A and B are shown apart, each in its own frame.
Chain A
Amino acid sequence: MKKILALVFLGFFSIVNAAQALDAKKAEKFVQNVTTAGIEELINSDVSDSERRARFTKLFNEDLDLDFIGRFVLGRYWRTATPAQRDAFIDVYRKLNIQTWSERFNEFKGKHFEFLGTETSKSPDQIFVNTQVPMEEGSPASVKWRVKETNGNMRIVDIIIENVSLAQTARSEYTAYIQKSPKGIDGLISDLKSKLK
């Protein structure tokens, strides 16, 4: 009886593992596509700046869940924000991200992402895809991609560079700003707008 139980138990775990492995492969493939299309093909190609910006906008809107991230980075202030404030914030946050990331990805020019497998998250619909980028000097830079699956659709919800989460950093910055500023969320939105080129 004990043996049967143990077998059932083992069987159960191997099914769970198999399901995760399948998901992990899919997530890794998804991130591979993003890095190849977004970074290796876009940055290393000779297209004009406006064309590059247009392609980045498309890529970011399709593969990065900026609504989900934007909600998180406002923290507890999301709940008190009016629908108009929420829309205005998400809109400027999206534009600012596209702007800063199309510039920042330039630093990966000529570099190649090495894929190092995945890491589970305590959130069941999310997974971390581990990559590293070899640097000219010193040890390679660690870049982890947090991927979320919604209805079979995969999207990136966070990028963690050298243990620093972009979502977490933005959240610290924005909540500290709102807390200090007498103009609150509206002040944040107008200040973020002034950062747009």
Chain B
Amino acid sequence: MLKTLKYIAFSVLLGHLVVYPAFGAEDESSALETYNRAMFNFNSAADYYVIKPAAKGYRAVTNGFIRERVHNFFANLKEPVAVVNHTLQGNLGDSGKSLGRFLVNSTLGLLGTFDVASGWGLANNKTGFDETLAKWCVPDGPYIVLPILGASTPRATVGLAADTAATPTYWADYYATFGNDLEKYSFYYGLTALGFVSIREENIELLDKLTESSVDPYSTIKSAYIQNRLKIAACAPKDKDAEPASYDFDFDEDFDE
């Protein structure tokens, strides 16, 4: 399923690279918005009938301690991604720290379920291919809604696909020595699904409140997603004072009364 998703993501991406080469994420043509809103409605229905109930079920059968172990386990699998990408961004020191975290937490931290490394002064400092592309001056592209995975942009989609390919469990289905093909795949897909449900569980209240108080949840999520992405440091270190922060907008621009 993840592979299919990736193919879909890539074809969506390629389509957008051809059609919208020069637009920033704020720009959304009406054709793209029609697609995005339709996909948003599909995702909301899938969430309502399948994903959120699964997240609630997961919460019902686990306690906070277990959920934190699961969270840490998946977070640890992202360390090799950080090792590679810190290197690609030219931060060898950070790359070494992420490698250290992965080695310590995978062993002493019992397969990553405990974050021992943070206590040793190796603080969590994750990065991914999306940030690498940003550092390389690749533009973000327009806002797109992916099937199931939700809010994204072409650059974020490429980043996600590359990060998935750099995650150790991704290779488990190629090199796993146990069982037959079916067992191998169900192991990998089961793991992927658990990671997904774990993330959804962490956001149950947040998304409930958001949709509860919003008159247009699509626009609310889109706006919040785009603003949050502006955190990612862009390429070519400019003079920081020259450009105001994205949230330092002019309150009075529309009112010349």
Contacts and interface: CB of A to CB of B under 8 A. Distances in A.
Given A79-B255, A165-B227, A137 B214 contact: no
A168 B216 contact: no
Contacts of B244: 121-122
Given A163-B227, A168-B223, A172-B222, A195 B250 contact: no
A191 B257 CA distance: 28
Interface in B65-124: 68, 71-72, 124
B227 A168 contact: yes
B251 to A, nearest CB: 5
A180 B224 CA distance: 19
Contacts of B247: 128, 144, 146, 158, 160, 163, 165, 168
A146 B254 CA distance: 19
B100 to A, nearest CB: 18
B219 interface: yes
A39 B83 CA distance: 39
Given A119-B245, A164-B228, A168-B227, A103 B257 contact: no
Given A173-B214, A173-B216, A163 B255 contact: no
Q: How large is the interface on A (under 10, 10 to 19, 20 to 34, 35 or more residues)?
A: 35 or more
A148 to B, nearest CB: 8
Interface in A32-82: 68, 71-72, 75-76, 78-79
Nearest to B125: A139
Chain B interface category by residue count: 20 to 34
B1 interface: no
A139 B124 contact: yes
Contacts of A126: 251
Interface string A177-197: 100100000001001100100
Nearest to B246: A163
Interface of B: 68, 71-72, 124, 205, 209, 212-216, 218-220, 222-224, 227-228, 230-231, 244-252, 254-255, 257
30 contacts: A68-B251, A72-B254, A78-B255, A79-B255, A79-B257, A96-B213, A103-B209, A107-B205, A121-B244, A122-B244, A122-B248, A123-B251, A123-B252, A128-B248, A136-B68, A137-B72, A162-B231, A163-B227, A163-B230, A164-B227, A165-B227, A165-B249, A167-B251, A169-B223, A169-B224, A173-B216, A173-B219, A174-B215, A195-B212, A195-B213
